[in-house]
Structure 1
């Protein structure tokens, strides 16, 4: 899946503009994004602040590190074929 060209902070800033009574169509035109992207972001990040998004990002990274550590341990237990 393609990653968005916007950071989480930028997305939250765009959503805050929408809360300040700028229409979604105007925001999409101004920032060069599609309507479905805007509404997907609104569902995911709506009502969230920048600090809350950062905390979510940290938890995602911690989960990723834990998963990779488990994978590494499992691979170390497999005997090597010679």
Structure 2
């Protein structure tokens, strides 16, 4: 699902999605617009890359 679809579903709250999943999305995205969610995804991806770089450098330092 795209970020826009998630925001639309949360605003409508009648998508037939499991309550657990809907609650998870609501908690994470309730006050966000589509652009905010896109930015969050970009930051999460960047964070993942930094964690990978850190892990690689840590391994090199141990050798």
Normalising by structure 2, we get a TM-score of 0.77
Structure 1: gaps of 5 or more residues = 1-5, 19-23
* Number of equivalences: 63
Contact residue 9 and residue 15 of structure 2 kept, 8 A: no
Whichever of the two has the greater Rg, that structure is 1
Q: What is the aligned-residue RMSD (CA, Å)?
A: 1.7
Structure 2's unaligned 5+ residue stretches are: none
Equivalent position SS for 1:28 = coil
Give the TM-score taking structure 1 as reference length: 0.63
Correspondence list, 1:1-82, <5 A: 6-16=1-11, 18=12, 24=13, 27-29=14-16, 33-79=17-63
